[in-house]
Amino acid sequence: MLCADPSCNIYLDEVHEMLQTAFGWDDAHLNVFFIGSAPHDPANENYLCPFQVEEGDPGIPQNQVRLDETLAEPGDVLFDCYDFGDEWTLTLRLTEVVSAAPDRPRASCFGGDRPAPAEDCGGVDTFELISAALDVDNPVCAPAGRDRRRGHPHRRRLLAADGG
């Protein structure tokens, strides 16, 4: 969850940097913020990364748009589509507007249900498969989890054949 003080003039390129830091990503791919129904829909209002601006893509540069210009009222939604191959579409939703305390940072990220996906892990479907496979409490993957704890039988056979 991103908590930002709208009065502090945070631009979308800065929001993107904050999200990259929160997710532990390297900013190695293109991104586009948009207001609309789906990534790459021509009807969207797009906010472009520098490469897209150089390429002449239609939209407004992210460094010219403040967060409060896109999220003004509770319920407003802005998306950040990152890595057009893996297609991570992050949803930013304004839940409430509160007065900022003077000692609060300009923005902070907190919360989340689980660790963020690794950069270049293959997208949502692959991340879900990886997460399920690593979850020893998942009943579908529990046998594999037990095998990992006591040594997979194939691994034991290989070690025995190798004299280990």
- Nearest CA to 1 out of 26, 21, 19 is that of 19
pLDDT digits (tens, 9 = 90+) for 41-90: 889 999 999 999 999 999 999 999 999 899 888 889 999 999 998 999 99
pTM over 0.85? The answer is no
CB atoms within 10 A of CB 28: 10
Residue with more model confidence, 49 or 132: 49
Residue with more model confidence, 9 or 83: 83
- Report which secondary-structure segment, H or E, holds 35: strand 31-35
* Residue appearing with tokens 């589509």: 81
Q: What is the mean pLDDT of residues 12-28?
A: 91
- Nearest CA to 118 out of 129, 110, 103 is that of 129
How far is residue 66 from each of residues 72, 80, 118, 120, 142, measured CA to CA in Å?
11, 14, 28, 28, 47
Q: What's the CA gap between 4 and 71, in Å, rounded?
A: 11
Say whether 67 sits in a helix, a strand or coil. Answer: helix
Across the beta sheet with 88-93, what order do the strands follow? Answer: 60-61, 45-48, 31-35, 77-82, 88-93
